[in-house]
Chain A
Amino acid sequence: DAGVIQSPRHEVTEMGQEVTLRCKPISGHNSLFWYRQTMMRGLELLIYFNNNVPIDDSGMPEDRFSAKMPNASFSTLKIQPSEPRDSAVYFCASSFDTGTYEQYFGPGTRLTVT
């Protein structure tokens, strides 16, 4: 298996633009997680899905952020409009379920908003 796949790996955009991050989880995993990593706050959960349904989105910073999982093999995280404070590394992870199984992380997308 190729592992969790994220695209793009790097994104530089101007303030106010829409940004879409993409994730393909490991085949067979039914839980998908979006995390954000910053120097100040470390790694924080934004949202997670179980069987394509959003379970907990309490970590989504504000309405500018939205996430979808239209099927078991694809998820998107969208920021519209983007702001400089959104600059961070965004990780996607997947696992078999939300309980005892190990989470596997993608390589991340480094977002820079100027």
Chain B
Amino acid sequence: KQEVTQIPAALSVPEGENLVLNCSFTDSAIYNLQWFRQDPGKGLTSLLLIQSSQREQTSGRLNASLDKSSGRSTLYIAASQPGDSATYLCAVRPVYGGSQGNLIFGKGTKLSVKP
């Protein structure tokens, strides 16, 4: 059964720091991995989608990497800003099993960027 883990559960950094959020998954048979952002009381905003054949994706100050063989992904945020404060969720789309097609989510990392 696919399981997704995100560490740390919470992170607080001063503004301007570069930071890395970690995501691990137990089964490497995935179609893709998606990083989301969720603001308090809001829905999910898709940040980056990495297909299983890709190693990384970049969007602005965000860079996500994928090492499928080791079951790991990282989300790198450069020059963090207070507006980056949110919960970041990692999700994989498994190829096999009863959950084929849907996303399996981690519990998220709650990021706080202090001015």
Which A positions have Cβ atoms within 8 angstroms of B? 31, 33, 35, 42-45, 48, 50, 55-56, 58, 91, 93, 98-100, 102-108, 110
Contacts and interface: CB of A to CB of B under 8 A. Distances in A.
Contact of B101 (A42, A48, A91, A107): A48
B31 A100 contact: yes
A104 to B, nearest CB: 7
Interface of B: 31-32, 34, 36, 41-46, 49, 51, 89, 91, 93, 98-108
B102 A91 contact: no
Contacts of A106: 43
Contacts of A91: 43-44
B35 to A, nearest CB: 11
Contacts of A103: 34, 46, 93, 103
Given A100-B32, A100-B51, A102-B46, A48 B89 contact: no
A5 to B, nearest CB: 11
